[in-house]
Chains A and B, each alone.
Chain A
Amino acid sequence: MAQVGQFALALSVVVAAYSIVASLLGIRLKSDKLIASGRNAAIGVFACVTMSIVSLTYLFLIDDFSINYIAEHSNRDLPVYFKISAVWGGQEGSLLFWGWLLTVYSALVIFQNWRKHTAMMPYVTAVLMSSGLFFTAMNLFVVNPFNQVVVLQPGGVNALFVPQDGAGLNPLLQYILMVIHPPILYLGFVGFAVPFAFAIAAMASRQLGDTWIRTTRRWTMVAWFFLGTGILLGGKWAYVELGWGGFWGWDPVENASLMPWLIATAYLHSVMVQEKKGMMKVWNMVLIILTYVMCIFGTFLTRSGLVSSVHAFAQSPIGGYFLAFIVVGLSGSLYLLLDRLNYLKSDNQMESLVSRESSFMFNNLILLASCFAVFWGTIFPVISEAAPEWMGGGVKVTVGPPFFNRVNVPIAIFLLFLTGVGPLLAWRKASTNSLKRNFLWPAGIALASGVGLFFLGVDHFYAWLSLVMCIFVSLTIGREFYKGARARSVGSGENFVEAVVNLTLRNTRRYGGYIVHFGFVLLFLGWSGQAFTTDTQSETGIGETITMRQYTLRMDKLAIEEMPNYTTSKATISLFENGEKVGVLYPERRFYTSSGQPTTEVAIWSTLKEDLYVVFAGSAPDGKKAVMQVYLNPLVAWVWIGGIILGLGTLIAMLPNKKSAPRTSPVNRVEERREVEQHTT
């Protein structure tokens, strides 16, 4: 089966290269035959890579340890679902998985758009297949998942070898969320290839209206949804599996996924300005190019081992190829952009600094500033080490969470403020009268609540400011729904709930967007709680207790258990709240047999108010006591609830509007004229 996978992979490289050549040559020679052949080749690449990844999965399932990648990332006792997730658990497989998702997206995009956008699609195919070619070629020539295990025999001869068992999957990845976190994150990364390909196609075919944006609107949101969900799942994994008490540590690889997300968020907002007002055309091109480049850069950071990270399991010396791909892709895109600048002139000018479009512009600048700060903090250790000594270089400077928090916390709070302000401003220009009308009540109530919060003991400035902004933004969002539903129910006779539902379904993008904003409010609520985290550490024996505020933890049992894949030291702890028993916690410290690596399995008692987070940090020197690290993390549950609401809002925003305006055509222009005249008189 390995030969089938290998053959399919090799074939995919050849066919992807053919698809690019046939598409571009077809455009040049104006031959639909060649273009159609290039399209079919792209579907063929999908078939080949699918065959390749199916072969690899099959080899994992039958424990074929003659394959090096499988011997390094699986073992006989590994549960089946982890064997499947091990397919993307290491370098070779994750790149193959990346490439496979790209071919899936490519095939879907081709089926969906071939007839609709005949002039753009050959370019789209060529761009998508260029990425496809890069990834399949990397897999074939540099990090091949089908390489066999070889050992050096006496006399310097390599011989094939089949180990009895594999080294096992990295224990940190043996967690159920880890089965879905990488695929979801990759769906996000790879998804941005679609709007990027359409943007390049629009420039190449000189069709630079908003067709490419409208066509890729849902694709962009799908990618944004998956990337955001992937980031949050990664946070959840870090929180539950890494055992350091938090969910975001500004790790370079976390940053690598955050950067394209920040730029894509800016893009999702600024495309609205282009659609509504025909402005920011060049800017949108730059943003989507940067988003995709940052997705590749993120993959590069994860894979290259350039920066030290908790994701060290995925490192190998393939960074140079990625860097070359980024440089070629970025310079090619920017050259095309410069060449087409004449086609990208704005239809309108910014009329006022106090308007919806200017708030979008601020939002974009702030998001980009945040992205730059994250980028700089992430690569600074590399630059500081690589710089010559006379410039003060040669020393690896570590940039830790304090830097990222100092820069990004105020930026994030300002963004939250804009989230509340933007939707209340009118397009074009908001007068003082309209501003008063919209802001007086929400701002007044938020400030009054701020005074209340201060007297309740919220004395951390940023946490206080964040909570005040949460209240302000919630009020503005609630007010949007309330006023919209009221205006709707007056005309239609619907009751309030019906009016809210219909209002949302008839403008899913706007009201779905407000729900997304509310999801962010809840995320900020959860983040604000981090300012008040407390922790304690103690050596605890059987019958002894740890007290933390209203909670008392009593150690009932310490046991060692043998499991098929690992040995675990497990504590049984009774939890009391204000003297009353509320639950039992089981923190563990596991040792994985095949890899010999330890992991902590955190026990969490979660309420809407706070999480009690218990880590089995190790055994005391006498062996009779356990070292327990206990954290009290306020409001963390709101981060996950906010994430769910954010996802729901995105899904709503992706729905088509309940009743869309009829498409215009020359045939019904008389009716349309009447309509325009009605509107304009």
Chain B
Amino acid sequence: MIYLFCGLLGGAVLAAICVPLFSKDDTLESAIIEETEWDLLQRKKEIILGNIQDLDFEHKCGKLSDEDHQKIRSEMAEEASLVLKEIDNIESSQDLDALIRREVSARKGGVREVDPALCPSCGEKNIVTSKFCAECGAKLIGQ
């Protein structure tokens, strides 16, 4: 009985471990980078939108004066338009190619070793389509 229990447990665990090793499918799903520059910008846009909604609600509740509401709202709107501009840059035709290239190379596993958006000189993280670092002006590896 004891041997049966131990055998069943050991066999099941061994099978669970080995089955994936002999499967033919190796899709490299684990190489998909979830947070590309585009994803981060989209997320930033969602957050700013949410913040504007919260601000409007707090104003509606009477927690903010009209003056404060106007001022903060216009600052947020400015931030939102900057983010939209950056999204536009990435999504414009030429840069979309860059985006696809990055995704493809990421799937092949090339990008994870050297991030092309990362400045080799100062370490600043630039947007993926930049040719030169926004911080120090050095040429970026990916371009």
Contacts and interface: CB of A to CB of B under 8 A. Distances in A.
A207 B63 contact: no
Interface string A176-214: 000000000000000000000000000001111111000
B57 A487 contact: yes
A119 B31 contact: yes
27 contacts: A4-B5, A7-B6, A8-B9, A30-B109, A40-B17, A43-B16, A117-B34, A118-B29, A119-B31, A119-B34, A207-B34, A207-B35, A211-B34, A343-B125, A345-B125, A347-B44, A424-B63, A426-B64, A426-B68, A431-B68, A433-B65, A437-B63, A438-B63, A487-B60, A672-B45, A673-B84, A676-B84
B47 interface: yes
Given A44-B16, A276-B47, A666 B2 contact: no
Interface string B121-141: 001110000000000000000
Interface string A639-681: 0000000000000000000000100101001001101100111
Interface string B87-128: 100010000000000000000010010010010000111000
A527 interface: no
Given A7-B9, A210-B43, 10 more contacts: A3-B6, A8-B9, A34-B21, A43-B16, A118-B34, A120-B34, A121-B30, A276-B47, A342-B123, A664-B42
A35 interface: yes
A33 B9 contact: no
A433 to B, nearest CB: 5
A44 B43 CA distance: 36
B75 A35 contact: no
Contacts of B112: 205-206
Contacts of A597: none
Interface string B17-42: 11111010111111111110001101
Interface residues of B, number: 66
A211 B5 CA distance: 42
Contacts of B19: 40
Contacts of B29: 32, 118
A198 to B, nearest CB: 12
A95 interface: no
Contacts of A592: none
Contacts, number: 172
Contact of B80 (A118, A211, A679): A679
Nearest to A31: B26
A44 B19 CA distance: 13
Contact of A426 (B46, B58, B87, B115): B58
A436 to B, nearest CB: 9
Interface string A1-28: 1011001100100010010001000110
A209 B62 CA distance: 33
A27 B21 contact: no
A428 B72 contact: yes
B9 A427 contact: no
A294 interface: no
Interface of A: 1, 3-4, 7-8, 11, 15, 18, 22, 26-27, 30-37, 39-41, 43-44, 47-48, 51, 117-122, 205-211, 275-276, 278, 342-343, 345, 347, 424, 426-431, 433-434, 437-438, 483-484, 486-487, 490, 661, 664, 666, 669, 672-673, 675-676, 679-681
A676 B30 contact: no
A588 to B, nearest CB: 44
Nearest to B38: A666
B12 A4 contact: no
B28 A483 contact: no
A230 to B, nearest CB: 31
A18 B16 CA distance: 12
Contacts of A4: 2, 5-6, 9
B15 to A, nearest CB: 9
Nearest to A43: B16
A33 B23 contact: yes
**In the A-B complex, the 8 residue pairs with the closest CB atoms:** A36-B20, A680-B77, A44-B13, A342-B123, A483-B61, A40-B16, A30-B109, A487-B60
Nearest to B122: A342
